Structure 1
Amino acid sequence: MEQKREISDEQRFCEMRATVEDCNRFACALFQQLSAQNSGNLFFSPASISTALAMTLAGARGETAQEMHNALQLTQEGAQLHAAFQRLLSETRTGGVELDVANQLWGKTGYHFLAPFLETIRDCYDGGLQLVDFQEEPAAAADQINEWVSRATHGKITELVSPMSFHELTRLILVNAIYFKGAWEDEFEPERTRDQTFYLAGDQQTSVPMMHQTGSFGYFENETLQVLELPYRKRNYVPQFVENEDGSVGLMHTEVPGGGGDFSMCILLPRERDGLNDLEKEIDSATLQTWLTMRHQEVIVSLPRFQLELEYELNTPLESLGMERAFQPSSADFYGMTDNPEGLYIDAVLHKTFVDINERGTEAAAVTGVVWAAGCAQEPEPPKVFCADHPFLFLIRDRQTGWIYFMGRFNQPEHQAD
């Protein structure tokens, strides 16, 4: 690993901010690719994918590294880039939400990986290397990886790979997992949830469990869309003296709502029921930043309760963004990972996600696996009405840094048990 850089707090903040801006540009670019290839619901974690590919970039060299750098929309490189990711991952204030980010490498037993690469993964991404035998014991290797994924995502994603995921050239699998769980600052009352019409494409419609509440929320609107921000609760505790059963007095810390956590969900709702396609065409990081500049006002909210569980192979979207050599056995250059003459190339980038939006809050998880093979304040206004009864976009972000952890589209409700 390169020598540690000594920089000022101001420079450290600027580099972390630049990393967030880069990652959010990549999030919007990848959303456009996934949206073009998938007409139904979408849910992915740009934070998970960016982190996994940044770890991969630590071992890339030459034109392979340059293509990855450009595809990821990065403006920093080398030790500066990895240190910025390290600060971003370690300094994120989770407030009252559960946010677990985990990274791990699984390498082929007996294969030689370079110490500087492993040190970068360890020091900047808190990731380790576990040796497994992909060829002789593929079932055991898959079990180990899937058990780790299940633990990292609190059981929400239980399988990323199968024994069929490996072949005779599989040498390395890199996995990033993100788990998120947050309670709304202002929870929806379950007794107010009732089935209502949700309007689909064309003249179709279906029924969804619609949650309701009225409150003061971050809000933005223009002639084509409305944006609503629902904050997650920040956990604050106050000490209270309580009398025990034996008459003694003890100190107990009681949780109280804290006026908004560091994370929030933003819902982007087109004004027209069939306006989602036009809205998606406008999505880029600069436009998104404008839409997410909100002010608080009274809003009457109606939002569907839903769950999504999706999976993607990201090879094609990433190739469309210009990351081509990394997937080609004849031209991939990952000699920053290994000095083995046969070399390495990326066989697959796998991504699985889960999200549950309900009256209490949100639970979400994502896991990205990279598989390598060898060889290869104002006057009072009337309340705004925000009724998400037709397709919309949504994202979960860190309000402090602006980093988009999850991003999705909801346009096809599925039947769910109560």
Structure 2
Amino acid sequence: MYLKKTISNLTDVALRITKQLLTTEGKGKNMVYSPLSLQVLLSSVTAGSKGPTKKQLLSFLKSKSSDELNSHFSHLVPLVLSDGSTRGGPCVNCANSLWVEQSLTVKPSFKRMLVNDYNAVIKEVSFGTDPDKARVQVNSWTKKETKGLIPEALPPGSVDENTMLLLLNTIYFKGVWSHQFDPSETEERKFRLLDGSTVEAPFMIESYGWHYVKAFDGFKVSKLPYKQGKDKERRFSTYFLLPNSRNGLPDLVKRVCSEPDFLDCHLPEIQRKPGALKIPKFKIKSNFLASEVLMKLGLVLPFDGNGDFSEIVESGIGDAEIIHKSVIEVDEGGTKAAAVSIFHCHEADCAEPIKTIDFVADHPFMFFIREEITGTVLFIGHVLNPLEE
């Protein structure tokens, strides 16, 4: 019950971020991000803060205490964020790391929390004398933890001698569809864009068999489950939310992100009659300054030089920012997705009858990757043009 309530709260937080992100930064382009990655990062940052900064972070994350957040994620990792590939299920990996200037001292209590609750690795590096070497090391770690999907988390010049510490979270997901599409059935079809024009895109097609799909007022929902093998404690699926109207995605995004428990209230059902299922293949890469998105939602203090993060290191921290990168690839076999969230700190001064329903995603749509038993949302995004990354 406790875990379910915490996940429900964090899903509400995720949808607040999603509404802001998809209607501003991602308004005119494909977008994917991992709310879970940002939440793991913000939770560990919360543990390193105090005073008004901590109070604001806890309020934003809808939590009573850092202990509650830390306990939640320490329990969630073995339940949801662990590798199930040896049991025939999806490969999921959640990794955390702290990279700190070697001249600074990490507080023992913060170090214990990172290691015990977040299974983090802690590295001392020399930002002051060789910041680019440290950047390359961080990128190498990120590339390894995301299985090569994110080879460069930090571009050249993003780390300098004023960097004090980098706190990172990565999430990697690889799942095989429970019922894979036949590549020989994939065909070029028209995908209608928001501006009324069309592009020819490769569509994965399933014309027979049972599908999870349901029509609601103004939109349809389709669910594609992933193979779980002997991994009986978890069930992962991707949800596709398709507005009936070609240009109905903006309104659907607002609705999804404004109605409490939207996904739980709009679950698709197994069809008793075969219906066509046509979904475009797509690959999306996204990169944005998450701290700016969070600021627009009222989370300001930690990023303007006034935040109190004195529970992380002995000396004070000045300006900070949060960077987020994500990538997703969807094809006939399944899905690969990865995300990295980086906290970068600088020195101061710096009930309907069952019927057949076709689900043809030939215009902009939303998607979620979700673990079914706990309700944990790993990735969210929208596709405006499947030919663009």
TM-score by shorter chain over 0.5:
yes
* Residues 232 and 261 in structure 1, CA contact (< 8 A), matched pair in contact too: no
Deviations 1:163-186 (A, max 9, x none): 411234311101101110000000
Aligned partner of 2:179 in structure 1 is: 186
With over 3 angstroms needed to count, the CA separation of the structure-2 counterparts of 1:53 and 1:89, relative to structure 1, is: same
Corresponding residue for residue 240 of structure 1: none
> 1:376-387, aligned counterparts within 5 Å?
381-387=354-360
Q: CA deviation at 1:220?
A: 2.9
Could you tell me which residue of structure 2 aligns to residue 293 of structure 1?
267
Q: Of the candidates 120, 124, 136, which is equivalent to residue 131 of structure 1?
A: 124
Aligned residue in 1 for 2:63: 75
Q: For residue 196 of structure 1, report the CA deviation from its aligned partner.
A: 0.2
> 1:334 and 2:323 equivalent?
no
1:276-314 CA distances to partner (integer Å, 9 max, x unpaired)?
Answer: 111111123615234443322244210001111111111
Q: Specify whether residues 259 and 189 from structure 1 end up closer, same or farther in structure 2 by C-alpha distance, changes over 3 A only.
A: farther
Letter in 1 for 2:227: R
Q: Distance in 2 between matches of 1:288 and 1:56?
A: 29
What's the CA shift for 1:203? 2.0
Instruction: Determine if contact 1:42/1:310 at 8 Å carries over to the other structure.
Output: yes
**Partners of 1:224 and 1:84 in 2: CA distance:** 36
Compared CA separation, residues 360 and 261, structure 1 to 2 (3 A): farther
TM-score normalised to structure 1 length:
0.86
Q: How do 1:287-366 residues align onto structure 2 when only pairs under 5 Å count? A: 287-297=261-271, 298=273, 299-329=275-305, 331-340=306-315, 343-366=316-339
Aligned partner of 1:228 in structure 2 is 222
Supply the RMSD in Å over aligned alpha carbons. Answer: 2.1
Q: Deviations over 1:359-412 (max 9, x none)?
A: 000011111111012226997x44210000000000100011100000000012
The equivalent position to 2:6 in structure 1, one of 19, 42, 45, is 19
Give unpaired runs (5+ residues) of structure 1.
Answer: 1-13, 237-257
Residues in 1 aligned to 2:250 and 2:346: alpha-carbon distance in whole angstroms: 38
Deviation digits for residues 52-95 of structure 1 (CA, Å, limit 9, x no counterpart): 111111101111112212222x2331212211111011222746
TM value normalised by structure 2:
0.92
Cα contact 2:37–2:341 (8 A) shared by 1: yes
1:54 aligns with 2:43: yes
Question: SS of the counterpart of 1:235?
Answer: coil
Which structure has the larger Rg?
1
Counterpart CA distance in 1 for 2:217 and 2:233 is 28
Alignment map for 1:2-401 (pairs within 5 Å): 14-37=1-24, 38=26, 39-72=28-61, 74-92=62-80, 94=84, 96-213=89-206, 214-236=208-230, 262-284=235-257, 286-297=260-271, 298=273, 299-329=275-305, 331-340=306-315, 343-375=316-348, 381-401=354-374
Q: Is the 8 A contact 2:193 2:384 kept in 1?
A: yes
Could you tell me how far apart the structure 2 residues matched to 1:287 and 1:20 are?
Answer: 11
Report sequence identity in percent. Answer: 28
Change beyond 3 A, Cα 1:47–1:192? same
CA distance in 1, matches of 2:112, 2:156: 29
After superposing on structure 2, the runs of 4+ consecutive aligned residues of structure 1 that deviate more than 4 Å are 258-261, 376-379
Task: Determine which structure has the larger strand proportion and give its number.
Answer: 1
